[in-house]
Amino acid sequence: MRIWNQYVKFLLLLLVFSTAALFFTPGVGAQDEGWQIMRADYGFKAQRTDVTDILRDLVSHGGVNGRVAVNNQTMGGDPAVGRDKSLRIFARNRRNEEREFDFREGGFIDVAMFAVRRDERDDRGRARDDHDRGEHDRRDSRGLVIVVGYYGVQGRTVNVTERLQSMVREGVLALNVNNASLGGDPAMGADKVLIVIYRYRGEEQATAVREGNRLVIP
């Protein structure tokens, strides 16, 4: 009987420790924690670029098929040429606990890990019409659909989604990336980047083109 009691106690302790591990192991249930992106940077050692706004925007729009690729294109440039870079995300949850998430260049971020929500309002603050949006997506489901685009630098960007949508001709978007074609200069004196998330033949992709270069999609 004594051996049996010790065996039962051992099983109970094992159950307690297993349950504790489930709840307290870092990374488990990140989505349920509601992690808010406070700051993010991309690069190698001291050669890092602040990409907070870029990352928040990509995550809020669901990334590409629920993921955001970590590379020079999606992060708006290469801050450390020839180096193996990483993305650091500093986040805070509902309990005001802070945590750092690290992703290597070439990896992917599951957008469900973070509590950024896509704004369902247009630039004039009006709710978007679900019926009109659905008709647009169905009409262009086999062609090119511009999901979102913005132009500028960290902290100084302008949403150019509607402008890009209006420039699509026969299923192709082609333009010179400059202030004239994109409606103005959101960051005078800075080298700007155009980042576009688009859907082509049902598959979402992302691209980034520096000011002065030409963008052609697909």
Structure tokens at 153: 């630098």
Task: Please check whether residue 180 lies inside any domain of the structure.
Answer: yes
Question: Which residues, other chains included, contact 23 with Cβ-Cβ below 8 Å and sequence gap of 6+?
Answer: 29
Task: Please check whether residue 5 lies inside any domain of the structure.
Answer: no
What is the rounded distance in angstroms from the CA atom of residue 170 to the CA atom of residue 173? 9
Task: Please check whether residue 213 lies inside any domain of the structure.
Answer: yes
What is the rounded distance in angstroms from the CA atom of residue 55 to the CA atom of residue 42? 10
Domain count, the chain: 2
Task: Please check whether residue 2 lies inside any domain of the structure.
Answer: no
Entry pTM: 0.57
Question: Which residues, other chains included, contact 43 with Cβ-Cβ below 8 Å and sequence gap of 6+?
Answer: 49, 79, 80, 83, 85, 86
pLDDT, tens digit, 9 for 90 and up, residues 21-53: 333 334 444 445 679 999 999 999 999 988 888
Residues 90 and 142 reside in one and the same domain: no
Task: Please check whether residue 84 lies inside any domain of the structure.
Answer: yes
Residues 27, 52 contacting (CB under 8 angstroms) = no
pLDDT, tens digit, 9 for 90 and up, residues 94-145: 888 999 999 999 999 999 899 765 443 344 333 344 444 444 444 454 689 9
Residues 97 and 162 reside in one and the same domain: no
Range of the domain at 38: 32-113
